[in-house]
Amino acid sequence: MGSPCSVSLFDFLAHLKRQVIAVFSNTLADQCVQSTSGRGNLRANFPLVFTPLMTMKRLFAFVFWPVFFVCQLLALALLSWHIAAQVHFAYPLGYKLLGLEQHIAEFAPLNRHKTGFEYTQPEDHWRLFGEISDAVQSSGRGLQNISYSLPDGKTTSLMHEAEIIHLQDVANLIDVFYRVGLSGLGLWLLLTALAVWQKWLPPANKKILSGFLAGITLSAVGVIALGSTKVFYWLHEQVFPDGHQWFFYYQDSLMTTLMKAPDIFAFISVFLLVILILLWCCAVLLFKRAINHRLKK
């Protein structure tokens, strides 16, 4: 038990708090009546209260939702990539759509480093691409072991040293992408939980769409202004180590021939975009359902 003095002080502070709240509530109620009757304005009568609060709220929303959607984009992009990797980026479908069988038959005999690849079958090509996909998803493990059978029954490695080094660089880049994506996923889940708990409604779909379209448009204009080829080369120079080859002619690379690069990358990009759009729609619907459920409570 506390002393009589401390108890009295506690009672006094509690009583004072109730009185202040009562006075403020009554004053606020009077101002509400005046504002509805045309004799006053709530914001005008309490500018020091409402103006900073509204400014902070707008500022918070201006920062929170862009960060939220950027994290959502990172998280869903990673999830889209991971899902696509499990089916080897639908390579058999792209193989048929892009005419890779005819492409391989044309350029495989011209290869200056490897022989006999023109005798391989579509099933071999699907297997080889799947092994490349699995290897770059596993930090490059197994790249040196990817091989195909020659007509005499012997096996030979699919790629020479420069190709293996390049795919190891790609694997390292994918590892970085996973770390960034997982960080975005963790932050996105935290922000989602916070928004649902606080019952914060997201911006209208039109605003979200217009924001992304504006970003895409500005990026496209920038690429066109600088030159798509220059941007392509600059990006590769930034992400791959100096001295490591990243451009291969069909005559020098069975890896490039197998993929009909860069055509296969356009197909994979569309495939990833379809998955991303589906995941995005699901995420938006689930988020809105969670918010609506909270609002009903």
Same domain for 39 and 67, yes or no, is no
Q: Which DSSP string do the residues of 110-155 spell out, in sequence order?
A: G-SS--SGGG--HHHHHHHHHHHHHHHHTTTTTGGG-EEE-TTS-E
CA–CA gap between residue 110 and residue 252 (Å, rounded): 8
Report pLDDT for 252: 96
Let me know if residue 2 belongs to a domain. no
Let me know if residue 135 belongs to a domain. yes
Same domain for 19 and 127, yes or no, is no
Report pLDDT for 41: 52
Same domain for 207 and 125, yes or no, is yes
Range name among 91-100, 115-124, 144-153, 282-291 with the lowest pLDDT average? 282-291
CB 108 within 8 A of CB 100: no
Same domain for 14 and 149, yes or no, is no
Q: Which two tokens stand for residue 237?
A: 């120079």
- Domain count of the fold of the chain: 2
Report pLDDT for 213: 79
Same domain for 16 and 144, yes or no, is no
CA–CA gap between residue 217 and residue 227 (Å, rounded): 15
Range name among 69-83, 162-176, 222-236, 252-266 with the lowest pLDDT average? 222-236
**How many residues are present in the chain?**
297
Same domain for 191 and 100, yes or no, is yes
Assess whether pLDDT exceeds 60 at residue 24. Answer: no
Let me know if residue 93 belongs to a domain. yes
Largest interatomic CA distance in the chain:
102
Same domain for 36 and 122, yes or no, is no
The domain containing residue 12 runs over which residues?
8-45
Report pLDDT for 3: 45
Same domain for 41 and 118, yes or no, is no
- 256-269 mean pLDDT: 93
pTM of the model: 0.77
Same domain for 139 and 212, yes or no, is yes
Assess whether pLDDT exceeds 60 at residue 5. Answer: no
Q: Read off the pLDDT band of 19 (50, 70, 90).
A: low
Let me know if residue 238 belongs to a domain. yes
110-167, pLDDT tens digit by residue? Answer: 999 999 999 999 999 999 999 999 999 999 999 999 999 999 999 999 999 999 999 9
Let me know if residue 51 belongs to a domain. no
- 157-180 mean pLDDT: 97
Q: Read off the pLDDT band of 205 (50, 70, 90).
A: confident
Range name among 37-46, 174-183, 252-261 with the lowest pLDDT average? 37-46
Report pLDDT for 236: 85
CA–CA gap between residue 137 and residue 37 (Å, rounded): 68
Same domain for 39 and 133, yes or no, is no
Q: Read off the pLDDT band of 192 (50, 70, 90).
A: very high
Range name among 53-57, 112-116, 123-127, 226-230 with the lowest pLDDT average? 53-57
Assess whether pLDDT exceeds 50 at residue 38. Answer: no
Assess whether pLDDT exceeds 50 at residue 80. Answer: yes
Let me know if residue 273 belongs to a domain. yes
Range name among 31-35, 48-52, 229-233, 246-250 with the lowest pLDDT average? 31-35
Same domain for 19 and 143, yes or no, is no
Same domain for 208 and 288, yes or no, is yes
Let me know if residue 55 belongs to a domain. no
Let me know if residue 36 belongs to a domain. yes
